[in-house]
Structure 1
Amino acid sequence: MNRSKPKAPAPDEPLPVEIVDAHTHLDACGAKDAADVTAMLDRAAAVGVGRVVTVANDLTAARWAAEAATWDERVFAAVAVHPTRTAVFSEQDRAVVAELAGRDRVVAVGETGLDFYWDYSPPAAQEEAFRWHIDLAKRVGKPLMIHDRDAHEDIWRVLEAEGPPETVVFHCFSGDLEFARRCVDRGYVLSLAGTVTFRNARALREAAVHIPTYQLLVETDAPFLTPHPFRGRPGEPYCAAYTLRDLAQLRGADVAELGAAVAANAQRVFRLPAVTARELRGREG
């Protein structure tokens, strides 16, 4: 029996403001070269997703992300070794990540953290790598982008023990209201992916209402976690428009106002140039 591959959702209507996809994986979305990246960013720009942070999971992806960030002015990168890939994390591997993290268009160290859902890397190895990435973020003076899956308390324990860097971003935040409040009190930034639109994610949706706007980002984690009503389909950065609209409705906020706020947050958190992607295209024209 032949089963057709799920199709990507159609792009949403253009947003009234330009936003930033704070966490995506352009390589996993299918981009291989500069032309692919430009085409993907053009599709995103058409609905108001003007810039993206493409994130690495392993050394190959880290090298690719750092290079991709030089192909298009709308792309920035984050580099690290994902916790599920840390069973072997050698000194040579660490030297590669450290060198890439120091590059100008690499704006964060991540994604790093703990993942107790998948049984790919021993917890002790994950924690050791997490501690190393925390130290790296401090050394290079860039935000720490955290992957936290079924590991809230252990993530918290390690951050408290090591001392967090100046800026901490919880990618694809998955906690409840109580954990969100703890993170907010510490000054951490919470980035919401398509999961916040899932109608059965009641605890997360409750938390999302109460996150202060100043500490909020929006992301896709594309091609994963495509928002409602397209859950299960492959996503791209343009899908951030769906998530923003759903989040605005959930919070009782104006889409343009919320979009402007999360865009400003991304610019501040990742120290992006003040010029927007739209303005860059205008200059080129």
Structure 2
Amino acid sequence: MTDPSNYVRTRSQDGTRDVRWPDAPEPLTVPVYDNHTHLEIEDGEVGLSLDEQLERAGAVGVIGVVQAGGDIESSRWSAWAAASHPRVLAAVAIHPNEAPAYAAAGRLDEAISVIDELAAQPRVRAIGETGLDFFRTDDDGRPAQLESFEAHIALAKKHGIAMQIHDRDAHDAVLETLERVGAPDRTVFHCFSGDAEMATIAAERGYYLSFAGNITFKNAQNLRDALKVTPRERILAETDAPFLTPTPHRGRPNAPYLIPVTVRFMAAELGVDLDELCAQVAANTLAAYGPFED
């Protein structure tokens, strides 16, 4: 088997993006975690190693990350990163937009089996990201997405770990599937993209809602409304790095060290003390994924 530590991808640059790393924000006084990031994807004018990413994050009060996979290779890398670093936990899965390609190649069952094996590792604490995406996948690919999603739900239950959901333009179908099949005990809507009504339903069912940098975007009032109706004990924070860089750095590379920008914005929107929100988000992260220290 190829050494998973060697698996690193580079985000494609089209020459129009500003690829300078943003300045580090003011450190948080109460530390938090980034509960969804993709550090196997290098970005920026200078690529940062895993150690450099964790160093930058720790310097501003982001003391741990959940590294998420989306295919066999990135899931293996995520599991390796978590096994190698005490500040990393892993989520492993076949992304819903990858499921149709695996199915077309006759490899979806094999891929699910690999995720099953990885999920048995002690520092793999979530199945994710899995779910449904009706934006990038057309009708022909949806049966494979649904088959994969239901298989991932079963794996999260089998291993007794959390599940991170990718939901894009598929809110009703995701909620219906979770209700019909039965959601894992700890279900996280990664990069929550619904509105206040959906947030209320999700919270009533005991799901966690994870908010990313796009909550700061001017056109994201639905996310701000959703945040305000979400019980504090259900709120998580993430970067989805290297994507969804928060304002005022939108369009530049994202990384876990920018979580303070997002949580400060969230605290202001909620009208709550920043330290209080950070303490709650940190407690919620540990409740969802367990301790980072073995």
Same fold (TM over 0.5): yes
The residue number in structure 1 matching 2:159 is 140
Q: Following the alignment from structure 1 to structure 2, what is the Cα–Cα distance between the partners of residues 117 and 97? A: 24
Per-residue Cα deviation, 1:164-203 (whole angstroms, up to 9, x for no partner): 1111100000110000000011010000000111122111
- Cα pair distance change 1:2/1:19, threshold 3 Å: closer
Q: Check if 1:167 corresponds to 2:186.
A: yes
- Equivalence for 1:42: 55
Establish whether residue 6 from structure 1 lines up as the match of residue 19 from structure 2.
yes
Matched, 1:18 2:37: no
2:19–2:43 contact (8 Å) kept in structure 1? no
2:264 to 221, 228, 245: 245
CA distance in 2, matches of 1:78, 1:23: 8
Q: Distance in 1 between matches of 2:292 and 2:67?
A: 16
1:14-93 equivalences in 2 (<5 Å)? 14-29=27-42, 36-87=49-100, 88-89=102-103, 90-93=108-111
CA deviations over 1:52-108 (Å, ceiling 9, x no partner): 000001110000000011221101100000000001242221111100011100010
Look up the SS of the partner of 1:108 in the other structure: strand
Is 2:97 the partner of 1:95? Answer: no
User: Letter of the aligned partner of 1:257 in structure 2?
Assistant: E
Residue in 2 aligned with 1:105?
123
Q: Which amino acid aligns with 1:224?
A: F
Whole-angstrom CA distance in 2 between matches of 1:26 and 1:247: 24
Q: RMSD across aligned C-alpha pairs, in angstroms?
A: 1.8
Structure 1 segments of 4 or more deviating over 4 A?
A: 1-5
Matches within 5 A, 1:133-282: 133-273=152-292
User: 1:21 and 1:206, CA in 2 relative to 1: closer, same or farther beyond 3 A?
Assistant: same
Q: CA deviation at 1:29?
A: 3.6
Secondary structure of 2:83 counterpart: coil
Task: Give yes or no for contact 2:94–2:130 (8 Å, CA) kept in 1.
Answer: yes
* Letter aligned with residue 60 of structure 1: E
Identity among equivalent positions (%) equals 45
What count of residue pairs does the alignment treat as equivalent? 272
Displacement after TM superposition at 1:274 (Å): 6.6
Unaligned segments of structure 1, at least 5 residues: 276-285
**Is this contact kept in 1: 2:18–2:251, CA < 8 A?**
no
Question: What SS class does the counterpart of residue 70 from structure 1 fall into?
Answer: helix
SS at match of 2:218: coil
What 5-or-longer segments of structure 2 have no aligned partner? Answer: 1-13
Confirm or deny: 8 A CA contact 2:88 2:292 kept in the other structure: no
Normalising to structure 2: TM-score of the pair? 0.89
Give deviations 1:9-54, integer Å, cap 9, x for gaps: 11101001110000000101459xxx92111100000110010000
| Distance in 1 of aligned mates of 2:28 and 2:42 | 22
CA contact (8 A) 1:16 1:255 kept: no
Distance 2:187 2:16 in 1: 42
1:283 aligns to what? none
Distance 2:162 2:16 in 1: 42
Mapped partners of 1:249, 1:55: distance in 2: 28
